């Protein structure tokens, strides 16, 4: 009987087969090399820390007027001199497929007034492409927006039909497009927040409209544009930014008072009532808050019940409610009603804006 192993040739004519010796080397430690300089590290974390400390990622950056340009799409609606254009961490610059130096780029960007343009900045690590639309109006176009605004909006009831008429007339007069968009978005936001004037917007739409207005007017340096941006910042409780844009009148008084409370200080009421100082329609809550801040202490004391009522309303926004609570807390403290001030302070003990002052008031009342 044939065995299966009989068909296997053992090699070497049936003789023994020499098996070579295999040299066994000791295991070498695993190392992680830096792609930048070749230095080796024992683990990934050590290499990561080395790269972070010695080879930081350099992302190109384009700025104008001390603000970063949005690479996903930016509108420039006001002129800037070459010195206001800043390019950082960049080795190569291409504008509309033409390579230029940094100085040439800033000069060229300052001269563009219309159209879509592409700016690509490249560093050793990364390339960023900015898509920028230039739509810089002339003085006549800017004046057209303000003239129609004064005619149709100032001292008139704010209604959606009136805003639509503003848009139609400005377009007929070839007014500044993004200036008009910013103004109209803000006005629509006021109607949405108050749910008045025949608006079809929901109340929740007001924030989007306010922020769209601020973005459209981002680089616009006109009194009306700055006031709108200030009021949007005030609505968002960004008091310092709001005051920088509107340094006079009720807006500034309210910002200074609320910013003072935010810094943990009691804030005295004005000695005399402050006039509004602007003719821009605002939503009811903002108007009431700014008006209260502009009153004398005796007038604030008289108006406190009305202010407390606003804080309890269901439709009062969270941003406005915290402002109202802080003003009530301060007013009661300034009029000597410390227990009532502490009662309002308890509502703010976990507020990121006013917790310092609230905590101090609570502690002072409890330690009396």
Question: At residue 2, does pLDDT exceed 60?
Answer: no
| φ, ψ dihedrals at 114, nearest 5° | -155, 160
Using the predicted structure, report yes or no on whether residue 41 has a pLDDT greater than 60: yes
Among 60-69, 155-164, 241-250, 268-277, name the one with the lowest average pLDDT. 268-277
pLDDT band at 38 (very low <50, low <70, confident <90, very high): confident
Q: Are 269 and 297 in contact (CB under 8 A)?
A: yes
Over range 98-107, report the average pLDDT. Answer: 96
Between CA 111 and CA 80 the distance in angstroms is 8
Query: Does the pLDDT of residue 346 top 70, yes or no?
Result: yes
In this predicted model, which residue has the larger pLDDT, 78 or 31?
Answer: 78
Residue 111 has pLDDT above 70, yes or no: yes
Confidence of residue 301 (pLDDT cuts 50, 70, 90): very high
> With pLDDT > 70 as the criterion, what percentage of the chain qualifies?
90
| The token pair that represents 299 in the structure block | 């007038």
Rounded alpha-carbon distances, angstroms, from residue 178 to 18, 199, 216: 88, 22, 6
Mean pLDDT along residues 241-257? 92
Least confident among 30-39, 96-105, 158-167, 359-368: 30-39
What pLDDT is recorded for position 43?
A: 81
Specify the pLDDT at position 357.
Answer: 95
**pLDDT for residue 275 is more than 90:** no
Q: Which residue has the tokens 């040299």?
A: 23
pLDDT(151) > 60: yes
Residue 147: band (very low, low, confident or very high) from pLDDT cuts 50, 70, 90: very high
Q: Say which residue, 149 or 6, is predicted with more confidence.
A: 149
Q: Is 336 left (phi over 0), alpha (psi -120 to 50) or beta?
A: left
Average pLDDT, the chain: 89
Q: What is the pTM of this model?
A: 0.77
Q: If pLDDT is split at 50, 70 and 90, which confidence band does 197 have?
A: very high
Query: Strand 85-88 to strand 61-64: parallel, antiparallel, or no bridges (unpaired)?
Result: antiparallel
């Amino acid at each position: 009987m044939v065995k299966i192993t009989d068909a296997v040739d053992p090699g070497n004519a049936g003789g023994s087969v020499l098996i070579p010796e295999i040299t066994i080397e000791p295991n070498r430690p695993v190392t992680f090399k830096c792609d930048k300089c070749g230095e080796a590290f024992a683990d990934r974390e050590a290499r990561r820390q080395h790269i972070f400390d010695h080879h930081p990622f350099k992302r190109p950056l384009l700025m104008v007027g001390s603000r970063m340009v949005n690479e996903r799409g930016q509108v420039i609606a006001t002129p800037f001199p070459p010195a206001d254009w800043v390019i950082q961490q960049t080795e190569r610059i291409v504008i509309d497929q033409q390579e230029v130096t940094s100085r040439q780029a800033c000069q060229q960007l300052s001269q563009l007034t219309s159209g879509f343009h592409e700016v690509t900045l490249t560093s050793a690590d990364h390339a960023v492409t900015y898509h920028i639309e230039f739509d810089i109006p002339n003085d006549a176009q800017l004046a057209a927006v303000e003239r129609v605004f004064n005619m149709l909006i100032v001292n008139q009831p704010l209604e959606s039909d009136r805003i639509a008429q503003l848009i139609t007339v400005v377009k007929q007069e070839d007014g500044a497009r993004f200036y008009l968009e910013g103004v109209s978005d803000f006005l629509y936001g006021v109607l949405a927040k108050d749910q008045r004037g025949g608006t079809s917007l929901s109340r929740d739409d007001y924030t989007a409209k306010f922020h769209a207005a601020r973005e459209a007017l981002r680089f616009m340096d006109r009194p009306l544009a700055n006031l709108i941006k200030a009021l949007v910042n005030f609505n968002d409780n960004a008091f310092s930014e709001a005051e920088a844009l509107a340094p006079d009148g009720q807006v500034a008084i309210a910002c200074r008072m609320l910013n003072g409370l935010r810094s943990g200080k009691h804030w005295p009421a004005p000695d005399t009532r402050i006039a509004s100082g602007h003719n821009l329609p605002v939503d009811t809550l903002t108007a009431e808050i700014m008006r209260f801040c502009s009153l004398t202490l005796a007038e604030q004391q008289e108006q406190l019940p009305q202010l407390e009522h606003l804080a309890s309303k269901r439709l009062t926004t969270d941003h406005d409610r915290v402002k109202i609570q802080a003003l009530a807390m301060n007013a009661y403290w300034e009029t000597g009603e410390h227990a009532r001030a502490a009662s309002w302070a308890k509502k703010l003990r976990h507020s990121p804006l006013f917790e310092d002052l609230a905590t101090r008031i609570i502690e002072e009342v409890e330690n009396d």
